[in-house]
Amino acid sequence: MTFSNSLELLAFHQTAYTIYAAIIISVVAWFGYNLTRTDAKSVVRIPFYAYMAFLVAGGVGHHIFTYNAIPWVSQDITRDSITPDASYEFEVKNHKWIGLPEQITVQCGQTIKFDIKSHDLVYGFGLFRQDGTLVTQMQINPGTDVNGILDSNDMLWTFNHNGVFDMTSTEYSGPAQYSEDGKEDLMLVKNFVKVVGCKDGGAK
């Protein structure tokens, strides 16, 4: 199993967690009901160490599963050794993007590097579909090295589905991000990334 974008991953996650939530609520409800009964018998005997092993396997197995099923995990860890198909560098200061490229057009399957530097506050970088769902994101921390050069906040992303994505800051950096009446996000960049060339179900 491999997830090619966040929508597939989140749909799987929602189903799995909903099933889990239904189970845990039902188990405690059943347990509560039987606590009051004189004739209640154990349905199944859960060995203590088997339960512990299950929890350890669940905790560790979850990460092993996602490492193998979510392609951006290994890509993120090894990003220093990956050559992207294109790179875009820009900065942010006083809640304004500086040196922002015009709409970025990405061919299906291309890996893009985003490198963003902050002059003042902690911001975020997030790409969103037109229906508001999140494609990807990272935090943008301010800071400089000993030579006064702004710190990088870089990430790689491979686009496997067509779409036009908006960009805004995903981290709160004060009320100045918005218009006074709150109706406008002043850091929102409409149609920032456009992905073309993918089949309907994703990928080339």
Distance CA 87, CA 74 (A): 19
Q: How far is the CB of 67 from another protein (least distance, A)?
A: 7
Which of 47/102 has CB closer to another protein?
Answer: 47
Distance CA 171, CA 126 (A): 9
Q: How far is the CB of 70 from another protein (least distance, A)?
A: 3
Which of 52/196 has CB closer to another protein?
Answer: 52
Distance CA 159, CA 135 (A): 9
Q: How far is the CB of 167 from another protein (least distance, A)?
A: 13
Q: How far is the CB of 135 from another protein (least distance, A)?
A: 8
Q: Distance of CA 130 to CAs 116, 134, 160, 194, Å?
A: 23, 10, 16, 11
Which of 85/115 has CB closer to another protein?
Answer: 115
DSSP three-state, residue 12:
helix
Q: How far is the CB of 203 from another protein (least distance, A)?
A: 19
Which of 46/200 has CB closer to another protein?
Answer: 46
| N-term to C-term CA, the chain | 18
Q: What are the DSSP calls for 167-188, one per residue?
A: EE--S---GGGB-TTS--BTT-
Distance CA 138, CA 124 (A): 6
Which of 102/202 has CB closer to another protein?
Answer: 202
